Amino acid sequence: MEFVVERRGRAKARLSLEPRLVLNAGYAGRNQEAVRRHIEELEQLGVPRPGRVPMVFAVSNHLLLNLSVLQVIDTQSSAEIEYVLLFHRGSVYVTVGSDHSDREVETRSIQKAKNSYPNVVAGTVWPLDEVTGHFDQLELTCEATRGDAIVPYQHGKAADLLPPSYWLDWVRRAGLFESDVVFYSGTIAAQDGLHHGDAYRLRLHDPVLGREIVHSYRCPVVSVPEVAEKA
């Protein structure tokens, strides 16, 4: 995969990544009350409570995609905005993504649900060391489109989630730091429950350095076209 690296005061550069592993954190909120609310959101959809928190799930690397159209088979899936860490040759980058998941499959297996749709990722990244000192102030915002309306879906700060240092330590202890690994942070609570949208807009905003990464994707329901019978 190809990414654009935005560095302060320097020209944009290219980052070529061949992910060895794509990992998704779950129930990874720093505030246990927020974690409880997210668990309750999922319980309302029939997803059983986890045995422990946080959890880490493996996702097939071919499911990591930078796309603008994600075809879905029905309206039982939805986005989850997350900050995303990219590990490459000893360097770490951060961007924004969506762990798009099938809510019906989640009632049977979270692992299978996380492999039922792509992990959407933005095409622009920042070096993690440029935001480490103020990482908690980074803002995560996801808007959903329903018909002609754009509605708030998720909004919070990176401080709502376990910090990168937690996952850097985890990756080091797993012996993966020098590998091409992509790590999704886990998500924040939805403002009005998890629901399908016709499209989603993901935004990672840095209020300190005055910049942002934005990525949008549509979710049309795919179907077989009707074909007229031969005369």
Residue 91 near residue 127 (C-beta atoms within 8 A): yes
Residue 35 confidence (pLDDT): 79
pLDDT of 90 over the 80 cut: yes
Task: Average the pLDDT over 79-97 and give the result.
Answer: 96
Of 170, 76, 164, 81, nearest in space to 116 by CA: 76
Residues whose CB falls within 8 Å of the CB of residue 164, separated by 6 or more in sequence, listed in order? 83, 85, 92, 94, 128, 132, 135, 185
Higher pLDDT, 31 or 82: 82
Task: Average the pLDDT over 1-24 and give the result.
Answer: 94
Residues whose CB falls within 8 Å of the CB of residue 212, separated by 6 or more in sequence, listed in order? 203, 204, 205, 206
User: 161: pLDDT confidence band, cut at 50, 70 and 90?
Assistant: very high
Q: Which residue has the tokens 């990168």?
A: 164
Task: Average the pLDDT over 19-37 and give the result.
Answer: 87
> Which residues, listed in sequence order, are joined to residue 119 by a DSSP beta bridge?
64, 99
- C-alpha span between 181 and 191 (Å, rounded): 30
- C-alpha span between 231 and 206 (Å, rounded): 62
Higher pLDDT, 9 or 67: 67
Distances (CA, A) of 154 to 80, 81, 150: 8, 7, 12
Task: Average the pLDDT over 133-149 and give the result.
Answer: 97
Residue 145 confidence (pLDDT): 97
Higher pLDDT, 32 or 113: 113
pTM of this structure? 0.92
Residue 29 confidence (pLDDT): 87
